[in-house]
Amino acid sequence: MTGSSDNAKECSFTRAIVRPPSANFSTGLTTVDLGIPNHNLALTQHAAYCEALISCGLTLTTLPSDDVYPDSTFVEDTAIITKRGAIITRPGAETRRGEISSISSALSKYFKKLAVIEPPGTVDGGDVCEAGDHFFIGISERTNEAGANQLSRFLWELDYSSELVDIRDVKGILHLKSGIAYLGGNKLVVIDALAGRERFLGYEMIKVDLSEEYAANCVAINGSVLIAAGFPMFEKRLRDHGYHTIPLEMSEFQKMDGGLSCLSLRF
């Protein structure tokens, strides 16, 4: 079975929620020193990202950009959406907490009941990796154990299993999904620093070299894999595994610590 047909079942989606970067996007949070993002270029890159989602068969809900929350283009952090229900997070960064209200309104159109992470718990969606019926929940600077345990319970109520993965000792990644991505079937993209973790050994791992680590945050959708442009070794590796890849320019989002997955909520 090729990689592409592998990912068709578990990574199948019909919709996505996106929100273009606000004019003050460059005042958001970042830990990297890659310069100040150009707003127009960010808008162009975001538009190409949306086109790629549409080309994968998704119908988009585009929320208006929001100057009150400069990180609000990174919608993934505000909710965990599964095939059986959705959970509104409580983002770890205080400046991002208010982002959840517009996301809750948007999601209430599709879900009768939304579970909510409560204080003192914090969860960023970027720390939550769905792998079929199992979820990996990263414990990071943003997601704490109280939040992860609440999320585990909600997932259990939806008949999913989950486990916590502490990434606080892994340098250079903000969220768990900065270092792993699930491609469907038994396949997991993994950076070197996480590849030795026992919990991942049962998976067929597609490794990402240290020099291309940013590319680990890729997104499998309906038989294709969205990847950041400019990482040829990783792209070749995915193609060798049979995946259809869609490279996307991400430079302006990378400057703000954002990867491909964080720009949409897919369901």
| Residues acting as catalytic residues | 175, 262
Q: What is the H or E stretch that residue 85 is in? A: strand 85-88
| 37 binding ligand CIR? (CB under 6 A) | no
| 16 binding ligand CIR? (CB under 6 A) | no
Distance CA 134, CA 39 (A): 37
Give me the torsion for CA of 72, 28, 131, 152, rounded to 10°: -80
Of 93 and 170, which CB lies nearer to ligand CIR in the complex structure? 93
Q: Which stretch binds ligand CIR (CB under 6 A): 61-69, 146-154, 196-204, 253-261?
A: 253-261
| 20 binding ligand CIR? (CB under 6 A) | no
| 27 binding ligand CIR? (CB under 6 A) | no
| 114 binding ligand CIR? (CB under 6 A) | no
Of the CA atoms within 13 Å of residue 224, those in its CB half-sphere come to: 14
SS3 79: strand
Provide the mask over 205-244, with x wherever binding to ligand CIR is found by CB under 6 A and - wherever it is not.
Answer: ----------------------------------------
Of 193 and 241, which CB lies nearer to ligand CIR in the complex structure? 193
Mapping DSSP onto H, E and C, the string for 211-247 reads: HHHHHHCCEEECCEEEEECCCHHHHHHHHHCCCEEEE
Number of Cβ within a 10 Å radius of residue 195: 17
| 71 binding ligand CIR? (CB under 6 A) | yes
Provide the mask over 162-191, with x wherever binding to ligand CIR is found by CB under 6 A and - wherever it is not.
Answer: ------------xx----------------
Distance CA 260, CA 234 (A): 15
Residue number closest to ligand CIR, CB atom: 126
Nearest to 70 by CA among 124, 99, 27: 27
Number of Cβ within a 10 Å radius of residue 230: 16
Of 74 and 182, which CB lies nearer to ligand CIR in the complex structure? 74
Of 212 and 257, which CB lies nearer to ligand CIR in the complex structure? 257
Binding stretches for ligand CIR (CB under 6 A): 28-30, 71, 74, 76-77, 93, 96, 125-126, 174-175, 256-259, 262
